[in-house]
Amino acid sequence: MPKFRIRVALLVLTATLWSATGSRAADTLPNQLADDAFWKLIESSSEPGGSFQSENFLSNETGFQMVIPMLNLRVKPGGVYMGVGPEQNFTYIAAIRPKIAFIVDIRRQNMLEHLIYKSLFETSDNRADFLSKLFSRKRPAGLTERSTPDELFAAYNSAPTDNDAFTKNLQDIKDLLVKKHKFGLTDEDLINIEHVLTVFRDWGPDINYNSGTLNGRGRGGGGMPNYMDVMTATDPQGQKRSYLATEENFRFLRDIEGRNMLIPLTGDFGGKKAVRAVGDYLKDHGAIVGAFYLSNVENYLFQNQGGPGNPNGGASNFYGNVATLPLDSSSTFIRSRSGGSGGGIGGVSRPPNELASIQETLTAVKDGRIRVYQDVFNVPVFQGDPPANQQRR
C-alpha cells in the first residue's frame, strides 16, 4: 500500500476511534473568550499568509443558501462551525447557530476583513446601522428593523458616499481593535484594514468578488454577483436566509462576535498547522465539528499542488488534516461547484452547493476513490432523513 494511503488510513482510524469515545465527552467550550485568549488563539493557530488569485472581498456564490434546509436537519445548533472566505460564512453560522466558529483562509487579508466585520457587528445596533458603516454611507430614512434585505440594499444603492463617515468609521475600527481589545495588529495590518474598508466605500453595495484595485484602477465586476445579489438569494422554497435577512440573524452574529467566539485564522487547508490546531483545541474541549464549509478550495488543492497520489500534494495534506478533527456521523462538508466542475458531472445537472459526510469523504480517500477533484462529487450527497440523533429545528 502506498505511503500516502497508509498515512491517511491511520489518520482516519484515529479519527474514528476518537469519534467513538471523544464524542461522548462533555463539551467544555467556553461561552466567551477574553480578548487576550482570542488573540493568542489567532496567533498560535495561524500560518504565514499566502496569496490567491483574487482579493475576494465578497463571495461569488448565489446558491449557498440552497443547502440550508437540509443542513439544519443534519447539524445540531450549539456545535462547531469551520469555513473559509468572507461573508458567506455568516449566513451558514446564522443558520446552524454554532457555539464557536473558526474561519481558515490562506490570505491574512481575509482575517483582517473579518476583524473589520467584528468591529462593525460590535458597534452596530441593527442591520441598517451596520450597512451604513460597512459602505460609508449615511443611513437612509425610512429603514426599520422590519425592512427586508431588498429594501435595505435598494436604499443604500442610491445613497451617496460619505467620506467623513469613512474617516470616522476607520478610526473607530482601529481604536476598537487596538485600544479596546488590544489585539497585536502590525502597522501593515492597519494599512490593509484601511485598504479593505476603502474598497467597500468605493464600490458600496455593488462590491463583488472581483472588486478591488489594480495599479490604482478599479477592476471590473466580470458578471459576478454583488452584495445585494448574495444577500437576497433564497433557499429552494424561496425563503431568504442570509445573515442580513432578519434582525434575528444579525443579532446572533453580533452576539457571537461580541463574545469572541468567531475566530478568523490565516492558514492553508493543506498546510501543517491551522486546521490541525483547530482540531487540537476542539479535542481539548470535547467538541465535534458540525459543518465545514469548503467553497471550492479542494479544486485548487488538486489543481495547483497535486492530488492524493503525491505525498506532498495539497489535497492529500488537507484530507490528512481533516482526519485529525473530532468528527461524528453528522459532521458535514459544504461544497461549492463554482469554479470547479461546473454545473454538473457527466451531463447531469447538479445544485451549485452540496452537502456530504466528512467521514464518508475520508473513507473514499482511504479507499482510493478520490484521485482528482471531480471525484469528491461522487461521495454520496446527503438525501432523505437526517441521522437518528438529529431533530427537526
Please write the tens of the pLDDT for every residue from 52-101: 877 889 999 888 899 999 999 999 999 999 999 999 999 999 999 999 99
| Number of Cβ within a 10 Å radius of residue 148 | 13
Q: Label residue 222 exposed, middle or buried (CB < 10 Å: 0-12, 13-18, 19+).
A: exposed
Can you give the pLDDT at residue 382? 61
Please state whether the predicted TM-score (pTM) of the whole model is above 0.85. Answer: yes
- The answer to whether 70 and 360 are in contact (CB under 8 A) is no
Nearest to 261 by CA among 253, 273, 272: 253
Spatial distance between the Cα atoms of 138 and 207, rounded to a whole number of angstroms? 17
Q: What is the pLDDT of residues 188-221, one digit of tens each?
A: 999 999 999 999 999 999 999 989 754 333 445 5
What is the H or E stretch that residue 18 is in? helix 3-22
Q: What is the pLDDT of residues 262-316, one digit of tens each?
A: 999 999 999 999 999 999 999 999 999 999 999 999 999 998 655 455 554 589 9
- The answer to whether 99 and 29 are in contact (CB under 8 A) is yes
What is the H or E stretch that residue 81 is in? strand 80-83
Distance of CA 235 to the CA centre of its chain: 18
Q: What is the pLDDT of residues 19-44, one digit of tens each?
A: 444 444 568 999 999 999 999 999 99
Can you give the pLDDT at residue 352? 80
Spatial distance between the Cα atoms of 128 and 170, rounded to a whole number of angstroms? 18
Of 69-73, 101-105, 249-253, 381-385, which gets the smallest average pLDDT?
A: 381-385
Query: Which three cell numbers, joined as nine digits, stand for 384?
Result: 432523505
Q: What is the pLDDT of residues 362-379, one digit of tens each?
A: 999 999 999 999 999 988
Q: What angle do CA 24, 282, 289 make, to 5 degrees?
A: 75
